[in-house]
A and B are shown apart, each in its own frame.
Chain A
């Protein structure tokens, strides 16, 4: 008797969890799409869904973190473009070896994020404004460096990063999953990352308790930049080029996924697995559109609608409570 009572309590508690609700919603969507088109549940299609969501997923992790901090980062897409251009140009010209080029590229992405963080924390300027400026600045930089041309002719060893597979699973997919697992663990357990929650929930209170708010914010934005850089490396490698238009609108998809996953614009909330499910859900819906031959323009309309609904419900949810 008590056992059934306890298990029913557990079930109802589980159903309250954002992640469980999202998982169920995703399953429903999968059921609908696989009924509408037989091509959905095929190995090659699932592989392309997995590969397609990898970049969004890595970027969305950083976005989730800055949302927890009470900020947001609109410059992640441009960061991808600039980081990718710098990395691929270095390799194309043979200036440095592949690992060094990647190291420099990742450092650039980290520094772009750190600059965002420093301006936001030190000068107390709204993250929206700062990262909007950086979005334009970094994209412009990528254009200037290439005059809009592709950067191709990259070393084979670099291309292997994006194209390699382990047991039929593309290497970037495995890497992204590992990053999710490690980052989720660190966010929950490592004090330096975990302090994003009090800082985002109320920075003034956090400062009164002796937490170094500025340091937490700068590191958070730098980390978000670094995640964009990692996505850039995979993207350039997989597509065998650097291009100044890479990462367009990825910030919107990352924001949407993070908010669907439970992050809010008021800070202090966010879940890595929630974001993972948010990215998965968006990827599956988009894939459904592709399989059903819907136009890419309709995909944008639907993506935008989902984003607005997700944000509206998140804002409403936080007001009610």
Chain B
């Protein structure tokens, strides 16, 4: 990719949300959300519990639909009403709970829903090879691909979930990582951050986290949510922790770089 293309991609958002709102009964989970995500950037999505982070990513991954507002993908208005729609656009999500099938083997977990087939028949050899490639790319060694996923270590399970979310099936354009370091030790978290940086060179990445240090380390920008609203959009190179925390708490309407 040459630099001018790179530049163009930087200018045009790959995904935009305009006026996104979502209510659950009496609770306004998302309230008039506007945000842009560009190619080749890592955007941190920050906010306290209940700020609307999960609802927002679920709207992008097709688990929920917005009540109001529109989503533009590569400049075109799109309708993401089910997970399949998100998959077909190239929006890939790695969920915080990993969404793995504990009693099924590694290969099935990696390829469920995106199986390689010929005339409807599974191409098991091809999937086995690809599984090895993906796992070795993630620097993970798993004894046997026929192992049940629940028998793997936490770090290995993370690798399977990330491998599936990122490398299997449709070429990703936007990768959503929901708390990818939750429950991991320091060493494994570093490994995930390294991977995040690597992905950020090629794709648009939304990185949801509670950890401000991790956010400022890998993300170029951050969107801070508070009570379902965008409290601020920050350039991570300039933002300081106090500013972010006050936005998350909703105590101060300090405005960062606006979108």
Q: Which residues of A contact B (CB under 8 A)?
A: 188-192, 194-195, 197-198, 201-202, 204-212, 268-269, 318, 321
Q: How many residues of B contact A (CB 8 A)?
A: 27
| Bound: A188/B105 CA distance, A | 13
Cβ-based interface call for B150 (8 A): yes
Please indicate the chain A residues that have their CB under 8 angstroms from the CB of B124 in the complex. Answer: 189
Cβ-based interface call for B87 (8 A): yes
On whether the beta carbons of B102 and A209 are closer than 8 Å, the reply is: no
Please indicate the chain B residues that have their CB under 8 angstroms from the CB of A268 in the complex. Answer: 101, 103-104
Closest chain A residue to B165, Cβ basis: A209
Cβ-based interface call for B27 (8 A): no
Please indicate the chain A residues that have their CB under 8 angstroms from the CB of B108 in the complex. Answer: 197-198
Please indicate the chain B residues that have their CB under 8 angstroms from the CB of A208 in the complex. Answer: 61, 63, 83, 93, 95, 99
Q: Which residues of B contact A (CB under 8 A)?
A: 61, 63, 82-84, 87, 93, 95, 99-104, 108, 112-115, 117, 120-122, 124, 148, 150, 164
On whether the beta carbons of B113 and A198 are closer than 8 Å, the reply is: yes
| Bound: A269/B105 CA distance, A | 11
Please indicate the chain A residues that have their CB under 8 angstroms from the CB of B120 in the complex. Answer: 190-192
Closest chain B residue to A212, Cβ basis: B84
Please indicate the chain B residues that have their CB under 8 angstroms from the CB of A269 in the complex. Answer: 103
Give the 5 A-B residue pairs with the shortest CB-CB distance, closest first: A209-B113, A198-B112, A210-B84, A201-B101, A205-B99
On whether the beta carbons of A209 and B112 are closer than 8 Å, the reply is: yes
Please indicate the chain A residues that have their CB under 8 angstroms from the CB of B100 in the complex. Answer: 205
A302 to chain B, nearest CB (A): 31
On whether the beta carbons of A209 and B63 are closer than 8 Å, the reply is: no
Closest chain B residue to A268, Cβ basis: B103
Please indicate the chain B residues that have their CB under 8 angstroms from the CB of A188 in the complex. Answer: 122
On whether the beta carbons of A190 and B150 are closer than 8 Å, the reply is: no
| Bound: A280/B192 CA distance, A | 51
From the candidates B61, B84, B87, B101, name the one contacting A205 in the complex (CB within 8 A). Answer: B101
B86 to chain A, nearest CB (A): 8
On whether the beta carbons of B83 and A207 are closer than 8 Å, the reply is: yes
In the assembled complex, 29 residue pairs joining A and B whose CB atoms fall closer than 8 Å, in A order, are A189-B124, A190-B121, A191-B115, A191-B117, A191-B121, A191-B122, A192-B120, A194-B115, A194-B122, A197-B101, A197-B104, A198-B104, A198-B108, A201-B101, A201-B102, A205-B112, A206-B112, A206-B113, A208-B63, A208-B83, A208-B93, A208-B99, A209-B114, A210-B82, A210-B83, A210-B84, A210-B114, A211-B113, A321-B148
Please indicate the chain A residues that have their CB under 8 angstroms from the CB of B150 in the complex. Answer: 321
Please indicate the chain B residues that have their CB under 8 angstroms from the CB of A209 in the complex. Answer: 83, 87, 99, 112-114, 164
Please indicate the chain B residues that have their CB under 8 angstroms from the CB of A201 in the complex. Answer: 101-104
| Bound: A65/B77 CA distance, A | 41
From the candidates A198, A207, A212, name the one contacting B101 in the complex (CB within 8 A). Answer: A198
Please indicate the chain B residues that have their CB under 8 angstroms from the CB of A195 in the complex. Answer: 112-113
Please indicate the chain A residues that have their CB under 8 angstroms from the CB of B102 in the complex. Answer: 201
Please indicate the chain A residues that have their CB under 8 angstroms from the CB of B95 in the complex. Answer: 208
| Bound: A195/B117 CA distance, A | 12
> Which among A189, A198, A209, A268 has the greatest number of chain B C-beta atoms within 10 A?
A209
> Which among B112, B114, B121 has the greatest number of chain A C-beta atoms within 10 A?
B112
| Bound: A303/B122 CA distance, A | 38
| Bound: A192/B121 CA distance, A | 9
A197 to chain B, nearest CB (A): 6
| Bound: A89/B108 CA distance, A | 46
On whether the beta carbons of A202 and B61 are closer than 8 Å, the reply is: no
Closest chain B residue to A199, Cβ basis: B112
Please indicate the chain A residues that have their CB under 8 angstroms from the CB of B164 in the complex. Answer: 209
Given A268-B101, A268-B104, A321-B150, the answer on whether A189 and B122 have CB atoms closer than 8 Å is yes
On whether the beta carbons of B122 and A190 are closer than 8 Å, the reply is: yes
B73 to chain A, nearest CB (A): 16
> Which among A192, A194, A195, A204 has the greatest number of chain B C-beta atoms within 10 A?
A194
| Bound: A61/B247 CA distance, A | 59
Please indicate the chain B residues that have their CB under 8 angstroms from the CB of A198 in the complex. Answer: 101, 104, 108, 112-113
A14 to chain B, nearest CB (A): 14
Please indicate the chain A residues that have their CB under 8 angstroms from the CB of B117 in the complex. Answer: 191
| Bound: A195/B115 CA distance, A | 10
| Bound: A191/B113 CA distance, A | 9
